[in-house]
Structure 1
Amino acid sequence: MQPIRVLLADNHTLIRAGLRSLLESMEAVEVVAEASDGRAAIHLVKAHQPDVVLMDVAMPEMNGLEATARIVKEFPNTHVMILSMHANEEYVMQALQAGAMGYVLKDAGVAELELALKSISKGEAYLSPAVSKHVIADYVRRTGGESSTPSHLTPRQREILQLLVEGHSAKEIAARLVISIKTVETHRSQIMERLDIHDVAGLVRYAIRTGLVTADE
């Protein structure tokens, strides 16, 4: 039996170490690489071609949702499972829309994590029972309301929005993404126009509300 090859993506070193130890104690699971942000995860998926990526959502540089969307598009043989502390409908729906095959809470038991891994490695979707319960409850509560998600922004705009709210200047973003400062400023103007938000503080609040970044970053 071939081992399930796993890549860990989480910006907390101790969490990655704990997950690695836990996964390597499971039969037929091999951790092939670790990433501390979404951009690094994409590069490591290309290098190692893992079966499954265990992906955190809130990471610097590029968050887990954006990284998931790109991995799913560029590497169809690699499946993504989100590991998150959030069980509400908005987070889960964004993860599924990005192409994640599964969503497991960080307080899940070892048996559940192992079951999720085996299911997702075979191309079968998996949602934690607790997540399913919350998603249904949130959906019923919010039926008729509009969910605030950044889906009407392009991938590049979401990427630039995250870097902006993390405090990077237009010059730093341009250098990081290998584009001109003018292009960054054009994207920033378009983002503000699309969201009808015209100050950085408002962009930060929007990014936190939609899960693009977390308040403690």
Structure 2
Amino acid sequence: MLEQSMAPPHSKILIADDHPLFRDALQQVVDQAFPDAAVLEASTLDEAMIIAAHDDLDLLLLDINMPGMNGFNGLIALRNAVPATPIVVVSADEERETIQQALTLGAAGFIPKSMAKASMVQGLHEVISGKVYMPVDLSAPLTRGQMMIDDDFQQGYAALTGQQRRVLEMLVLGKSNKVIAFELDIAESTVKAHVSAILRKLRVNSRTQAVLNASKMLGTVRAMPSL
């Protein structure tokens, strides 16, 4: 029998999923994992953002395919909105790359929708206790297809300065220009200049494109020396 998690008293948990039946299923999982928690619901990213802005959430369960998410952009937006709240991605997409990307972008866990209820409960217990939960071993070697990296993007990354690489990795983690400036002890205008240089060197047209492409290759590029 699974032990009940040490969830905060009167904790608030948001279930953000556009399918009512699956929200009900997740409600049952949350009720079993955290019997005293108050459960809030959202069916779009906009609704989730509004709730996150007005409620002190202890946990957020997020479907990355609900309306407004635009891929992982919704996860990044919520990560910026509630940086102290652990976000667990709940998805029907069980591809290893998807799981790795979600965790790279700041998710505290990834739960496949096909997972058994008891395993979901265990996963939520681990996240609420401060751990990162994933259903597969991401330390296992990548397949040949997963290791393929766009040559132009890799060459562009190699041309980044050490500071630009640090800024890019912080962008991948979903941090805003203001937060990056504070953590690196530089002016926000300097961060913006770094971002512009990063986009130019990586040959991408937007910050989001840079983040998504970089997150796919972080497992290999972190080993490359800074210039």
TM-score range, shorter chain: 0.5 to 0.7
Aligned AA (2:72): L
Q: 2:53 aligns with which of 46, 54, 76?
A: 46
Pairs within 5 Å for 1:1-217 = 2-63=9-70, 65-128=72-135, 131-132=136-137, 136=140, 139-142=142-145, 144-146=147-149, 194=204
* Distance in 2 between residues matched to 1:3 and 1:132, nearest whole Å: 33
Structure 1 residue 132 displacement after superposition:
2.8
Aligned AA (2:40): A
17-26 or 96-105, larger mean C-alpha shift: 17-26
Structure 1 residue 4 displacement after superposition:
4.5
Structure 1 residue 114 displacement after superposition:
1.4
* Distance in 2 between residues matched to 1:121 and 1:26, nearest whole Å: 10
C-alpha contact 1:38 1:66 (8 A) present in aligned 2: no
Query: Alignment RMSD, CA only?
Result: 3.2
Aligned AA (2:12): R
* Distance in 2 between residues matched to 1:84 and 1:23, nearest whole Å: 16
Give TM-score, length-normalised by structure 1: 0.59
For the residue of structure 2 that corresponds to 1:113, the secondary structure is helix
Structure 1 residue ranges, 4+ long, deviating more than 3 angstroms after superposition: 25-29
Alpha carbons of 1:31 and 1:109: their partners in 2 closer, same or farther (altered >3 Å)? farther
C-alpha contact 2:32 2:121 (8 A) present in aligned 1: no
C-alpha contact 2:69 2:75 (8 A) present in aligned 1: no
Structure 1 residue 109 displacement after superposition:
1.7
* Distance in 2 between residues matched to 1:71 and 1:59, nearest whole Å: 13
* Distance in 1 between residues matched to 2:90 and 2:107, nearest whole Å: 11
* Distance in 2 between residues matched to 1:143 and 1:36, nearest whole Å: 32
* Structure 2 spans left out of the alignment, 5+ residues: 1-7, 151-167, 173-202, 206-215, 217-227
Alpha carbons of 1:27 and 1:123: their partners in 2 closer, same or farther (altered >3 Å)? closer
Greater gyration radius: 2
C-alpha contact 2:64 2:75 (8 A) present in aligned 1: no
* Distance in 2 between residues matched to 1:143 and 1:25, nearest whole Å: 37
Percent identity over the alignment is: 25
Structure 1 residue 29 displacement after superposition:
4.9
For the residue of structure 2 that corresponds to 1:126, the secondary structure is coil
Alpha carbons of 1:29 and 1:104: their partners in 2 closer, same or farther (altered >3 Å)? farther
* Distance in 1 between residues matched to 2:71 and 2:127, nearest whole Å: 17
